């Protein structure tokens, strides 16, 4: 029986000049690009691509198969559902890019698509599979193609509490 030299590739790529906070969990096959800054207590799911120059705050949960392009800024206590795609080029293939800003406490449902240059307001909720084409104000719930305001965050929290209290 012959012995072979095997090189096992790394499970993840994390740029050596990325700044990674304390208690960060990065699951399998994730990519973290150059000059990215990730805060404390962040979870990044499998197959997620966080490109260069991204900023992610503290206490965020980013599920699997999410794409976060350069210039994106994500605040604290943000949830991003699986398969969400952020964009940074409003007119592909432009020479000029612009990032998305996600303010503190926002929730983004899975498979949502976020247009370049918009801001998602503090504590807003983006329903699953929504397409965001314009800014989202704070404390609202948006849904649809294109996403439109349906109700406020307090209504969402009430629905969530009712759901959680059911047997």
Q: What pLDDT digit, counting tens, does each position of 81-138 carry? A: 999 999 999 888 899 999 999 999 999 999 999 999 999 999 999 999 999 999 999 9
Q: Do residues 93 and 113 make contact, with C-beta atoms less than 8 angstroms apart?
A: no
Q: What is the pTM of this model?
A: 0.91
Are β-strands 147-152 and 140-144 bridged in parallel, bridged antiparallel, or unpaired?
antiparallel
- Token pair for residue 114? 């976020």
**Residue 8: inside a domain:** no
Q: Residue 60 CA to chain centroid, in angstroms?
A: 9
**Residue 17: inside a domain:** yes
Mapped onto helix, strand or coil, the DSSP state of residue 155 is helix
**Residue 54: inside a domain:** yes
* Among candidate residues 49, 42, 86, the one with its CA nearest the CA of residue 64: 49
**Residue 41: inside a domain:** yes
Distance CA 167, CA 154 (A): 22
Cis omega (within 30 of 0) on the bond before 146? Answer: yes
User: What is the tally of structural domains in the chain?
Assistant: 1
| Domain extent for 75 | 13-165
Expressed in angstroms, the distance from the first to the final Cα of the chain is 60
**Whether the predicted pLDDT of 7 surpasses 80:** no
The CATH number for 51's domain is 2.160.10.10
């Amino acid at each position: 029986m012959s012995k072979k030299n095997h090189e096992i590739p790394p499970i993840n790529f994390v740029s050596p000049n990325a700044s990674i906070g304390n208690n960060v969990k990065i699951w399998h096959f994730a990519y973290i690009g150059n000059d990215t800054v990730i805060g404390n207590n962040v979870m990044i799911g499998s197959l997620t691509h966080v490109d260069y120059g991204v900023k992610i705050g503290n206490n965020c949960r980013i599920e699997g198969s999410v794409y976060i392009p350069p210039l994106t800024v994500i605040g604290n206590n943000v949830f991003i559902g699986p398969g969400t795609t952020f964009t940074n080029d409003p007119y592909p293939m432009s020479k000029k890019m612009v990032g998305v800003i996600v303010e503190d406490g926002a929730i983004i449902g899975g498979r949502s698509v976020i247009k370049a240059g918009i801001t998602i307001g503090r504590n807003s909720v983006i329903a699953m599979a929504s397409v965001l084409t314009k800014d989202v104000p704070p404390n609202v719930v948006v849904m649809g193609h294109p996403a439109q305001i349906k109700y406020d965050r307090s209504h969402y929290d009430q629905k969530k509490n009712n759901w959680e209290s059911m047997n």
